[in-house]
Amino acid sequence: MSAVAARGLVKDFGGTRAVDGLDLRVPVGSFYGIAGPNGAGKTTTIRMLVGLLAPDEGSVEVDGIPVWPDPTEAKGRLGLVPDHPVLFDRLSGLEMLEFAGLLRRMDPVVIRSRSRDLLRVLDLEDAADRRIADYSLGMTKRIGLAVAVLHSPRVLVLDEPFGALDPVNTQVIEEMLQRYRAGGGTVVFSSHVMDVIERLCDRLAVIESGRVRAEGTVRELAGGRTLQEAFVDLVGGRTLAEDDLSWLSSSSD
Ligand SMILES: Nc1ncnc2c1ncn2[C@@H]1O[C@H](COP(=O)(O)OP(=O)(O)OP(=O)(O)O)[C@@H](O)[C@H]1O
């Protein structure tokens, strides 16, 4: 059984086909990357995997449970860190965790002890009673991660978790994900940052125009190059011609 299995996913937005017959199998216990250029369909795919957006065609199972048509049961096994976490920013970090736990019908005693653990590990103890509105971006990402793992999900899905984060915040989140995986969890995340995928992931899928262009281990896909070089080759990067933007040179007239 796969942690996540998607078959034939399709999603249209008006005239735009964002996802076009996408298949994905994420092995249990893996660190799985979803890479792709801007507009490739990563966020749309993730939203269908986690039960936020109904596919027009195809199916998704998480931990063997069908996500559609009713995602309620599958959502209990999932944690999601969206690219822009939806948080109630008038609440403090601790209140946000307590609220999220109650929404998940968790025991208040368990909520409190896990919240304290998470705030400590994510270096948010001193900010526990401050309003989220006053958090930095890195702190907001960390509290978003805490909310996503509070109920101890089997599968954790993150959309661009490292976007705009400094190296310290990146390190904290990476370590937390490593620990979650070591405890038996499966991590699926999207990223444009190839060196993060290269460093963390066992396998990855490269998505382009709503389809999987390539899938395999990092070593297989890199094929002896850096993953970044392999990615650019695969999705067709553009290079500047010799005389493009020649006026940018400070010595030109
Ligand atoms: N709600 C929407 N309405 C209309 N079009 C949409 C909507 N959401 C996404 N799209 C379109 O679907 C395509 C895929 O978008 P998506 O956000 O899934 O890509 P992405 O790979 O996550 O991009 P990025 O890396 O830039 O975040 C794009 O062409 C986008 O403009």
Question: What ipTM was predicted for this assembly?
Answer: 0.97
Task: Confirm or reject: Cβ of 206 under 6 Å from ligand 1.
Answer: no
How much distance in Å is there from the Cα of 39 to the middle of ligand 1? 5
Task: Confirm or reject: Cβ of 153 under 6 Å from ligand 1.
Answer: no
Q: According to the model, what pLDDT value does residue 248 have?
A: 81
Coil vs helix vs strand at 176: helix
> Domain limits of the chain?
2-77+153-248
Look up residue 102 and give its DSSP letter: H
CATH number belonging to domain 2-77+153-248: 3.40.50.300
Give pTM, 2 decimals. Answer: 0.91
Q: According to the model, what pLDDT value does residue 253 have?
A: 57
For residue 24, which of 194, 219, 200, 212 has the smallest C-alpha distance? 212
Token pair for 45: 């795919």
For residue 36, which of 213, 156, 202, 226 has the smallest C-alpha distance? 213
Task: Label residue 219 exposed, middle or buried (CB < 10 Å: 0-12, 13-18, 19+).
Answer: exposed
Pocket perturbation via mutation, ligand 1, pick of 11, 42, 162, 191 by most ligand atoms within 8 A of CB:
42
Nearest CA to ligand 1 atom 18: 41
How much distance in Å is there from the Cα of 250 to the middle of ligand 1? 38
Pocket perturbation via mutation, ligand 1, pick of 43, 46, 53 by most ligand atoms within 8 A of CB:
43
Q: According to the model, what pLDDT value does residue 247 have?
A: 82
Residue 162 falls in which region: left (phi positive, over 0), alpha (psi -120 to 50) or beta: alpha
Q: According to the model, what pLDDT value does residue 238 have?
A: 67
How much distance in Å is there from the Cα of 98 to the middle of ligand 1? 32
For residue 191, which of 175, 179, 207 has the smallest C-alpha distance? 207
For residue 62, which of 7, 123, 118 has the smallest C-alpha distance? 7
Residues of the chain with pLDDT under 50: none
Nearest CA to ligand 1 atom 29: 39
Token pair for 121: 């590990």
Nearest CA to ligand 1 atom 26: 38
Token pair for 178: 């490593």
Nearest-atom number in ligand 1 for the CA of 44 is 18
Q: Do 208 and 40 meet the contact criterion of CB atoms below 8 Å apart? A: yes
Task: Confirm or reject: Cβ of 191 under 6 Å from ligand 1.
Answer: no
How much distance in Å is there from the Cα of 17 to the middle of ligand 1? 9
Pocket perturbation via mutation, ligand 1, pick of 13, 22, 189, 206 by most ligand atoms within 8 A of CB:
13
For residue 2, which of 203, 239, 145, 225 has the smallest C-alpha distance? 203
Token pair for 72: 């309620």
Coil vs helix vs strand at 116: helix
